[in-house]
Amino acid sequence: MRYLLILLIAGSLAPGAAHDFHVSYGRLAVEGSTAVIRVRFFQNDLVEAIQKQNAPDFELAATSRADSVALAYIGRRLRLAAADRPLEAVVRASGEDMSGQEPMWWYLLEFTASTPIKDLELTNTLLFETFDDQKNIVQMQHFPSEKTWSFYFTPDSDHFSVAMP
């Protein structure tokens, strides 16, 4: 586990090495009535998952069409709720970056509640249906308190609840 976290934080893989694990990584910030997450995937893993979900011709691109198809998938698998009400995600940006030699893809998603977020429920089953060894990590920070949490989602532990300070 420690090696996996070091790899994710460093953002690199051995040159030329294909990843032999399946993970998504998210950084979530909550302030007032807004929650924003940047979630990052190995490109080939995300494409495979979306193509299996009735979009066989899907290709990643920073376009409104590709973002819409990806959001439909992500919205079914990454759910946030505040005051027992589901929050709807909006894609604010998307793009490509690298982890060593491995191409990654990220989405910046914004969720807005009708009142300040006092408690948050997170469910993250991204890519679980595609990879038996899939893990999802989310680091969360609340503002203005700057309190932080880390969540490790697995198929048998895919839901967490948090009370804001």
Query: Residue 19 has what pLDDT?
Result: 61
Query: Residue 6 has what pLDDT?
Result: 34
Contact 155, 134 (CB under 8 A): yes
Mind listing the pLDDT tens digit of every residue in the chain (165 residues)? 333 333 333 343 333 345 677 999 999 999 999 999 999 999 999 999 999 987 899 999 999 999 999 999 999 999 999 999 999 999 999 999 998 888 999 999 999 999 999 999 999 999 999 999 999 999 999 999 999 999 999 999 999 999 998
Q: Would you call 84 helix, strand, or coil by DSSP?
A: coil
Handedness of CA 135, 60, 107, 159 (dihedral sign): negative
Q: Which residue do the tokens 């429920």 mark?
A: 121
Contact 77, 71 (CB under 8 A): no
Query: Residue 100 has what pLDDT?
Result: 83
Which of 137, 118, 119, 117 is closest to 127 using CA atoms? 137
Q: Would you call 114 helix, strand, or coil by DSSP?
A: coil
Query: Residue 16 has what pLDDT?
Result: 39
